[in-house]
Amino acid sequence: YEAQLTELYELVAAELPAKLKQLEKTEGYDVTSFQQLSLAWQHQVLRALFAKEKLAVTKQKLAQVQNALVGERPQVELDLGAGREFCRSYQTFYFQKKSAVFEAKAIKTRLEVGKWHKLPHGQVGLFEKATFVFQEGDESLSVSKEQAPFYVRQRLSGDKMPYSQGTKKITRLLIDQKIPAKERAKLWYLVDDKDFAYWVFGIKKTDL
């Protein structure tokens, strides 16, 4: 019996690297490939990944991660202890240092008419429509002087975008656009004095 167990262990150990290789992708591991594994191989792969990530292996944590990977929720974050967390983002999963809790800070930069304001991935400015000369690739949103002043900032909890038929929560908008959770904090918004978001740059702008 002991010899059979040893033989079985050796077979698993020999096959495991190939199973892990099938899951690997540019950033993390592939959810679909994991789901296609048998239940027994899912257990073995997760144990191997926990060991690789130097995470304590417990039945509870393994079950939580496995449920997250075979479940229908497209985005999941699980605290694994010791400052580490498991993340599923649609069809990718990975392990990382636990994200810092987002603190809502209303740090806004007011846009001045006729001036550009630099952002990490471009620039935004407020200009008179009659005199501004558009360049290829420019995106624009028409606003009235009555709506001013306008500001740029990053997200706040509960952000909403005004529409012609009411308002929509930015969180729902980002889920609909399938924006990964870790990318959401990097986005920049155009907002008014009441903190309504008229434009999530690169993602969506109001139809007003």
How far, in Å, CA of 159 to CA of 141, rounded? Answer: 19
Give 45's pLDDT tier (boundaries 50, 70, 90). Answer: very high
pLDDT at 12: 67
Taking the model in full, what pTM does it have? Answer: 0.57
* DSSP result, 2-62: HHHHHHHHHHHHHHHHHHHHHHEETTEEEHHHHHTS-HHHHHHHHHHHHHHTTPPP-HHHH
| pLDDT, mean of residues 38-45 | 92
Q: Tokens 């077979």 identify what position?
A: 11
Q: Give residue-wise pLDDT tens across range 63-86.
A: 999 999 999 988 888 999 888 899
Tell me: pLDDT of 23 over 50: yes
